[in-house]
């Protein structure tokens, strides 16, 4: 037993005293660890906002545009985020919209499309909304030639083959997109 | 011990890579571009916004009164060449409902 104690004492004594730099580093390593644990707390409000948005607790999107009558049906349209369009690779810029069908419409609408400008036909009606009738999403391409005074066209196709359309001014559908268009005026 | 740490790091890197890959695969849009090879011939190239090609994709040439003048499929190089029809028309790359690209005859590069 005494041999073991002696050996331990010897090992402890043989350790070189820690230098000033090493001591400082140890202390700051502790502070750094605390900072790493605390820093994410700053992002908690944003995290909970995102969570509420994706769960639907914050509504259809960050900004609800309104309810629009389209033929015999009506839909509620919203901007998913109050933000300018995002670059989608070689395709250009896209903007995410969400939509909810009226309670009575559910089961009668086959497809809902949205685009900038008047479509030539049903094939060119724009981006197709996908998801449940209570919250559908579509990423809409914002073409290079889009102007702040342009309109968005909603096209609803029923299971009976009927097609109904409604127009929404871009300035009403997404003021953030109009602001972005005005800022990038003249830029490719 | 070192091997275990390396393995854990490898798994972390693979996880991050998969997350990034899934973000990239989140959405891709059809794209198309057409140019006039000469006065009578037009060549169009299609694909997706992530840079991938789209062989077999339908390309229709449609008149302003909605008559299909020509219907083609993109070849293995994701291109198609056709005779320019007379009058006003537009070219439609069709990758399915809601996934189309329109190019007006006035937008064909010369």
Place of tokens 């090493």: A22
DSSP secondary structure string, A22-53?
HHHHHHHHHHHHHHHHHGGGGGHHHHHHHHHH
Contacts of A5 (CB under 8 A, 6+ apart): none
Nearest by CB: A128 against B47, B50, B97? B97
- Mean pLDDT across chain B: 84
What region, left, alpha or beta, does residue A6 occupy, with left being phi > 0 and alpha being psi -120 to 50 degrees?
alpha
* Per-residue pLDDT tens over the stretch B41-65: 999 999 999 999 999 999 999 999 9
Q: B49 and A91 in contact by Cβ < 8 A?
A: yes
Decide if pLDDT at B19 tops 50: no
Question: How far B97 CA sits from the closest chain A CA (Å)?
Answer: 7
For residues B83-96, average pLDDT: 96
- CA torsion, ordered A38, A41, A42, A45, to nearest 10 deg: -170
Decide if pLDDT at B12 tops 60: no
Class of the domain covering A60-184: mainly beta
Give the ipTM: 0.74
Which sequence spans correspond to the domains of chain A?
1-58, 60-184
Domains delineated in chain B: 29-107 (2.60.40.1930)
- Site from A124, A128, A163 to mutate, B interface, most B CB atoms within 10 angstroms: A124
* Per-residue pLDDT tens over the stretch A23-73: 889 889 999 999 999 999 999 999 999 999 999 999 999 999 999 999 999
- pLDDT on residue A134: 96
Question: How far A126 CA sits from the closest chain B CA (Å)?
Answer: 5
Q: Which residues pair with A95 in a beta bridge?
A: A140
Helix (H, G, I), strand (E, B), or coil: what is residue A132?
A: strand
Chain B environment of A113 (Cβ under 8 Å): 98
Q: What is the pTM of this model?
A: 0.79
- pLDDT on residue B28: 81
- pLDDT on residue B25: 43
Decide if pLDDT at B22 tops 50: no
* Per-residue pLDDT tens over the stretch A103-140: 999 999 999 999 999 999 999 999 999 999 999 999 99
Q: Is B29 within 8 Å of A141 (Cβ atoms)?
A: yes
Contacts of B50 (CB under 8 A, 6+ apart): A89, A90, B24, B25, B28
For residues A149-170, average pLDDT: 97
Decide if pLDDT at B4 tops 70: no
Q: B94 and A123 in contact by Cβ < 8 A?
A: yes
Place of tokens 């064909």: B108
């Amino acid at each position: 037993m005494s041999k073991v104690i002696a050996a331990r004492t010897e090992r402890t004594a043989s350790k070189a005293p820690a230098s000033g730099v090493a001591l400082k580093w140890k202390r700051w390593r502790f502070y750094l660890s605390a900072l790493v644990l605390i820093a994410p707390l700053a992002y908690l409000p944003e995290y909970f906002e995102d969570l509420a948005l994706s769960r639907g607790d914050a509504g259809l999107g960050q900004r609800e545009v309104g309810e629009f009558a389209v033929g015999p049906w009506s839909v509620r349209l919203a901007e998913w985020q109050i933000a300018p369009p995002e670059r989608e690779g070689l395709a250009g810029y896209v903007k995410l919209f969400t939509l909810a069908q009226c309670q009575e419409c559910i089961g009668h609408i086959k497809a809902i499309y949205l685009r900038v400008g008047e479509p030539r036909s049903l094939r060119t009606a724009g981006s197709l909304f996908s998801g449940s009738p209570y919250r559908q999403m579509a990423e809409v391409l914002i073409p290079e030639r889009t102007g702040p005074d342009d309109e968005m066209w909603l096209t609803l196709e029923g299971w009976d083959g009927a097609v109904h359309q409604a127009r929404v001014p871009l300035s009403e559908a997404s003021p953030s997109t109009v602001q972005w268009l005005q800022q990038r005026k003249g830029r490719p | 011990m070192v091997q275990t740490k390396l393995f854990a790091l490898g798994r972390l890197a693979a996880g991050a890579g998969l997350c990034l890959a899934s973000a990239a695969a989140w959405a891709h849009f059809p794209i198309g571009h057409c140019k006039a090879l000469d006065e009578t011939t037009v060549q169009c190239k299609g694909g997706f916004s992530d840079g991938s090609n789209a062989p077999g994709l339908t390309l229709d040439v449609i008149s302003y009164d909605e008559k299909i003048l020509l219907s083609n499929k993109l070849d293995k190089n994701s291109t198609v060449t056709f005779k320019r029809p007379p009058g006003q028309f537009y070219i439609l790359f069709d990758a399915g409902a809601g996934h189309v690209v329109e190019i007006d005859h006035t937008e064909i590069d010369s």
